[in-house]
């Protein structure tokens, strides 16, 4: 089983650098930047001490992966799930529901959390992931 958690969903042959324009995320991000000007888009629902620790330990991502097209011709033929965070300020839920439908053809599973769900709702996320293994056999 393949599970994406609050993630980008590439199209075959699509470079991550092209994803914002291809999905409309570039416009969504402009709207989010205005809506949440000066406020946290990633850690807003994470306990403050944990959010600060995460910020201190974060590292910049290499630009290299953003330039390489996604190498597969299609999504792997395995059950695929998407965990959508209903309080996500970075990937807003309305936008992501449409991307998930368009690109994966599945209905996302939803969890009441922001983008950093593994930090803000670890038990709820773990429970959801465990439920997938139970249904996968």
The rounded distance, in Å, linking the Cα atoms of 116 and 122 is 9
Higher pLDDT, 70 or 129: 129
Q: pLDDT band at residue 96, thresholds of 50, 70 and 90?
A: very high
Check if the beta carbon of residue 88 is closer than 8 Å to that of residue 62: no
pLDDT tens digits, one per residue of 26-80: 999 999 999 999 899 999 999 999 999 999 999 888 887 778 898 889 989 999 9
User: Fold for domain 2-136?
Assistant: Rossmann fold (3.40.50)
What is the pLDDT of the chain when averaged over all its residues?
A: 93
Domain locations in the chain?
Answer: 2-136
The rounded distance, in Å, linking the Cα atoms of 94 and 118 is 21
The rounded distance, in Å, linking the Cα atoms of 80 and 26 is 26
The rounded distance, in Å, linking the Cα atoms of 24 and 18 is 10
């Amino acid at each position: 089983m393949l599970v994406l958690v609050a993630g980008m969903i590439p199209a075959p042959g699509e470079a991550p650098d092209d994803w914002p324009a291809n999905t409309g995320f570039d416009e969504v991000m402009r709207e989010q930047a205005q809506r949440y000007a000066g406020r946290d888009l990633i850690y807003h629902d994470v306990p403050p001490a944990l959010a600060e620790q995460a910020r201190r330990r974060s590292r910049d991502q290499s630009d290299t992966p953003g330039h390489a097209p996604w190498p597969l011709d299609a999504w792997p033929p395995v059950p695929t799930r998407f965990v959508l965070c209903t309080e996500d300020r970075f990937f807003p839920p309305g936008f992501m529901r449409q991307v998930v439908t368009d690109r994966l053809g599945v209905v996302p599973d939803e969890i009441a959390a922001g983008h950093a769900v593994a930090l803000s709702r670890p038990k709820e996320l773990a429970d959801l992931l465990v439920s997938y293994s139970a249904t996968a056999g």
